[in-house]
Amino acid sequence: MENSQTVIQLEDVSVRYRIPNETIRTFKEYLIRLVQGRIKHNDFWALREINIRINKGEVFGIIGRNGAGKSTLLKVISKVLIPYKGHLWIKGNISPLLQLGAGFHPELTGRENIFLNATLLGHSRLEINEKMDEIIAFADIGDFLETPLRTYSSGMQSRLGFSVATAWQPDILILDEVLAVGDSAFRNKCINRLKKYKERGMTILMVSHESNQIRTFCQRAIWLDHGEIKMDGPAAEVCESYENSVLKSSGNS
Amino acid sequence: MIYDSAKRKHPAIEEFLALFRYRDFIYQLVRRDIVARYKRSILGIAWTMLNPLGTMLIMVVVFSRVFNAVQNYPAYVLTGLICWAMFSQSTSHSISMMVWGSRLIQQIYLPKTAFIVSTVIASMVNFLLSLVPLFIILAITKTALGWSIVLLPFSMILILLFSLGVSLLISTLAVFFPDVEQMYPVVLTGWMYMSPIIVPLEFLENVLNGWLLRLNPFYHVLNIFRIIMYKGGVPTGQDWAFALLVSFGALIIGWYIFTRKADSMTYYV
């Protein structure tokens, strides 16, 4: 692209959900309505003509209320959701931090789950073998490595998940309201690791409806409202405007 | 590594390339499927072999008097049952695998066919294991096999491709319409009784002048397997032609429709 520092670029990205007028969730009903010609949709625009350019090494925050389109935007950037319209350009590999338990299987041991989870992130067996000791050490699951995952506490599971997801430095890391892993000691370990990656040039995208988190971690932020960008600028300013608007509307009601 | 949404390849090709990149993920899914299924049972992997044997014994006890015209009924039933198990397991597990995978594809990009391909491969492993009881029964019943047994791998591959194709089709439907998951077992049961698995071939050949059989795609892939493993004969060119048509036809249609719909799956699941 024109700017060599750009790692993510969105041009006029729109996401449209089609919601059937009356919910048709069964195949039988669908066939009946299809024959009758009675399938009508309501369009819901989760994102409207979004334009963003994110540079390498930025910690970029996305703030907004529930249903403003924050998670939809992250899904578009992580190539999970293909937008209805618009253009997406990404340089480098993207790694999202998965929600607790996603991609794990309760009957498999910790070690087997490391393989399952890491291949799911697109790593090869060879790469995993190289990093295995490091992953185990960081997750600190000790004697539980060879026991089935169903015996793990939720704290251990999230430590293992984080450890696998961040064992390799991605070019772009996506955080969806998840930095609440484990106890405070482990959380510090995580933050240190992310800081180290950030110094090496990793870009971070972060979503939250808590303006404090965005203010603490991010330099730049956007404020999403009803699928549109209401404000784009330094994180502190965006957060302030957002807070004011939240205060105002809660005062009104 | 640059991704540009304006420069994407045709979905059917793009998916195939992504699937190759994620081959280690497929391996882990297959392993997960097999390991998780047997980990907590005492007999473990032996169930894969005992299951068809048990079903066969029941069928023989129940039906051997009804269908006593069928020569060597135990071998007839068992050849039918293990092929059917391959097909029905692949397709119905594919649906539940997509349900499991739908949590993941909401959060991370993955080639979605990986869930189907791995399920079908796991069923293929079971299919291979169930050859052991089949050979035992063939030996006990003194079934004569010819040199055509070298064709066995090809007939199994045809069943594999057919199962993959139908799995892709049925799981695409299941993503958009959740009731397909409830409906499908009924379809499978009906399909099974319309196929020459337990019911003798001669009986079905007389239904609707044999058209019920000819229009049943599963019959054509089973036919090859049976000729080799039950009759000890060599399938004719026409037998092969129909089986090839059915299996590659299912695969091409299934792959095309699944990959065409893959982008919009995350809007529904």
In this complex, which of B107, B180, B183 lies closest to A99 when CB atoms are compared? Answer: B107
Question: Token digits for A94?
Answer: 């993207």
Are A49 and A14 spatial neighbours (Cβ–Cβ below 8 Å)? yes
Q: Tell me if A19 is assigned to some domain.
A: yes
The answer on A69 and A17 residing in a single domain is yes
Question: What is the Rg, in whole angstroms, of the alpha carbon atoms belonging to chain A?
Answer: 21
The reply to whether A119 falls in a domain is yes
DSSP letter (8 states) at residue A104? -
Element (H, E) at A230: strand A228-234
Last residue within a domain, chosen from A108, A133, A165:
A165
CA distance B64 to chain A (A): 39
Structure tokens at A239: 């957060």
A126 and A82: one domain? no
Residues A220 and A150 in one domain: no
At which of A165, A184, A199 does a domain end? Answer: A165
Residues A228 and A247 in one domain: yes
Residue with tokens 């291979």: B128
Q: Write out chain B residues lying below 8 Å of A30, CB-based.
A: 177
Chain centre to alpha carbon of residue A124: 22
Instruction: Based on the fold, state whether residues A110 and A91 are members of the same structural domain.
Output: no
Nearest-angstrom CA–CA distance, B111 and A72: 20
Please tell me the predicted confidence (pLDDT) of residue B70.
75
Give the model's pLDDT for residue B117.
96
Which residues of chain B make contact with A119, given a CB cutoff of 8 A? Answer: 22, 24-25, 27-28
In a domain, A197, yes or no: no
A90 and A110 share one domain: no
In a domain, A184, yes or no: no
Q: Are residues A79 and A49 in the same domain?
A: yes
According to the per-residue pLDDT averaged within each range, which of A64-78, A95-109, B85-99 is highest?
A: B85-99
Phi, psi at A19, each rounded to 5° = -105, 120
CA distance A192 to A186: 10
B219 vs B197: CA distance, rounded Å = 9
Out of A26, A96, A125, whose CB is closest to B177?
A26
**Residue A185 lies inside a defined structural domain of this protein:** no
Cβ–Cβ of B2/A26 closer than 8 Å? no
Q: Which residues of B touch A93 (CB under 8 A)?
A: 1
The nearest alpha carbon in chain A to B101 belongs to: A103
Residue A159 and residue A216 in one domain? no
Q: What is the pLDDT of residue B245?
A: 96
Number of compact structural domains in chain A: 2
The most confident of A2-11, A28-37, B191-200, by mean pLDDT:
B191-200
Residue A70 lies inside a defined structural domain of this protein: yes
Residue of A nearest to B20 (CA): A122
CA A223, CA A176: separation in Å to the nearest integer?
15
Backbone angles phi, psi at A68, to 5 degrees: -80, -15
Asked if A81 is an interface residue toward chain B (Cβ–Cβ < 8 A), one would say: yes
**For A11-15, A208-212, B135-139, which range has the lowest pLDDT when averaged over its residues?**
A208-212
- Tell me whether residue A141 is in a domain: yes
CA distance A21 to chain B (A): 15
| Minimum-distance CB partner of A102 among B1, B35, B104 | B104
* Pairing assessment for the beta strands A6-20 and A85-91 based on DSSP bridges: antiparallel
Q: Do residue A89 and residue B105 have CB atoms under 8 angstroms apart? A: no
Of A100-104, B71-75, B134-138, B163-167, the range with the lowest mean pLDDT is A100-104
Across the interface, whether the CB atoms of B109 and A88 are under 8 A apart is answered: no
Asked whether residue A110 falls in the same domain as residue A65, the answer is no
Residue A77 shares a structural domain with residue A110: no
Structural domain boundaries enclosing A136: 98-165
Between vectors from CA A47 to CA A43 and to CA A51, what angle results, nearest 5°?
Answer: 145
Q: Do B32 and A108 touch (CB under 8 A)?
A: yes
Interface test with chain A among B105, B106, B107, by most A beta carbons within 10 Å: B107
User: How big is chain B, counted in residues?
Assistant: 269
What does the pLDDT look like over A180-210, one tens digit per residue?
666 778 888 888 888 888 889 899 998 887 7
Residue type, B145: L
What's the pLDDT band for B40 if we cut at 50, 70, 90? low
- CATH code of the domain containing A225: 3.40.50.300
Q: Which of B24, B36, B107 sits opposite A105 (nearest CB)?
A: B36
Q: Closest by alpha carbon to B159, among B50, B237, B83, B65? A: B83
Distances A27 to A142, B135, B182, B203, B259 between C-alpha atoms, Å? 49, 42, 11, 33, 20
Instruction: Choose the final residue of a domain: A133, A165, A197.
Output: A165
* Token output for B92: 């119905």
For residue A1, name the pLDDT band (cuts at 50, 70, 90).
Answer: very low
Q: Is the same domain home to A115 and A152?
A: yes
Instruction: State whether residue A45 sits within 8 Å of chain B by CB.
Output: no
Does some domain include residue A170?
Answer: no
